[in-house]
Amino acid sequence: MPPNDSTTPFASTEAYYADHRPGYGESAVEYLRHRFDLDDGSRVLDLGCGAGQVAVPVASHAGSVLGMDPNPVMLREADARARRAGRENLEWVVGSDAELTGVEGPFDLVTMGRSFHWMDQARTLERVHELTDPGGGVALLTNREWITRGTKDWQDVVYVHVGEYIEDLPDRTGPIEYDDPWDELVATFGFTGVETATFEFERTWDVDSVVGYLFSLSFCSPATVGDEKGAFEAALRARLDAFDEPLVQDAAVTVVTGKR
């Protein structure tokens, strides 16, 4: 089966994305709350919200959160997450960064997680600046992608395994971060006081969560692996049996913010 195309990169990943993609952590959410003085009068837009990994925890500090994503199945997963958390101050709308012209502001904060990598970044930041209330701002969140940047032995084994099934596997680059200077880009589009905050910690995984995480990735989705999905999973589990649980990852969440 051919890989997902660029318009639906996460088709077939939704349940895995919801269950196995880790959030960005309470430290990052608390940072946003203090940085933008979020309270029950604040209005937040989470663009490319996925399964609500940013939108739902931020909603506990805001008056209302609008989550926007082009994948309606992913939005159903996000709504289920909000219901489990007992949050009733979230709304969901199907749309991508290309549909931002139809969104009505202002917002006190616009957040984007790893979704920002998929966007027309210049067009998006220009429109986000227009949608943001003076005194509010934008936040771009990313976490360290261990498939390509992890350095643990078990991560090496996972990378080799995925490469046996996936042709277009991203290069193994070690612990370096993304090359695109998001802080400079944010400043270019009129945001001031740009800050970069990084929160480092250890994250632990078990074999089930590793398998689920892989199937949440666009380049390793069930649709991409296709009929070999069962063999892929069985062989990976066998390889990871050589390692004691928990499997430890050196993790980091980076938040780039700017104010309007």
5 within some domain: no
- Distance separating alpha carbons of residues 201 and 250, to the nearest angstrom: 6
CATH number where 136 lies: 3.40.50.150
Phi, psi (deg, nearest 5) at residue 45:
-115, 125
Strand partners, 196: 256
- Residue 1 falls inside a structural domain: no
* Strand partners of residue 142: 254
Please write the tens of the pLDDT for every residue from 205-223: 999 999 999 999 999 999 9
Cα–Cα separations (whole angstroms), residue 145 to 52, 62, 114? 18, 28, 10
With beta carbons less than 8 A apart as the criterion, state whether 46 and 67 touch: yes
| Coil vs helix vs strand at 88 | coil
Tell me if 175 is assigned to some domain: yes
Q: Decide if pLDDT at 177 tops 80.
A: no
The answer to whether residue 69 is domain-embedded is yes
Task: Find out whether the peptide bond into 246 is cis, omega within 30 degrees of 0.
Answer: yes
Q: What percent of the chain has pLDDT over 70?
A: 95
118: pLDDT strictly greater than 70: yes
Stretch 51-78: mean pLDDT, rounded? 98
Q: Which domain holds residue 37?
A: 14-259
- How far apart (Å, rounded) are the C-alpha atoms in residues 83 and 53? 13
Q: Give me the sign of the Cα torsion angle 45, 257, 99, 7.
A: negative
Evaluate whether residue 4 is within a structural domain.
Answer: no
Give the chain's mean pLDDT: 93
Measured CA angle at 131 (ends 126, 26), to 5 deg: 100
Kindly indicate the confidence band of residue 4, based on its pLDDT and cuts at 50, 70 and 90: very low
Is pLDDT above 80 for 144? yes
Q: Is residue 9 part of a domain?
A: no
Q: In this predicted structure, what is the pLDDT of residue 78?
A: 98
Among 253, 75, 238, 258, CA closest to 161 = 238
Residue 29, CB-side half-sphere exposure with 13 Å CA sphere: 18
pTM for the whole structure:
0.93
Q: What angle do CA 118, 37, 117 make, to 5 degrees?
A: 5
Has residue 130 been placed in a domain? yes
pLDDT at position 9, please?
Answer: 85
Number of independent structural domains in the chain: 1
* Confidence grade of residue 224 (pLDDT, cut at 50, 70, 90): very high
Position 73 pLDDT exceeds 70: yes
Residue 6 placed within a domain: no
pLDDT digits (tens, 9 = 90+) for 228-257: 999 999 999 999 999 999 999 999 999 999
Q: Are strands 132-143 and 247-259 parallel, antiparallel or unpaired?
A: antiparallel
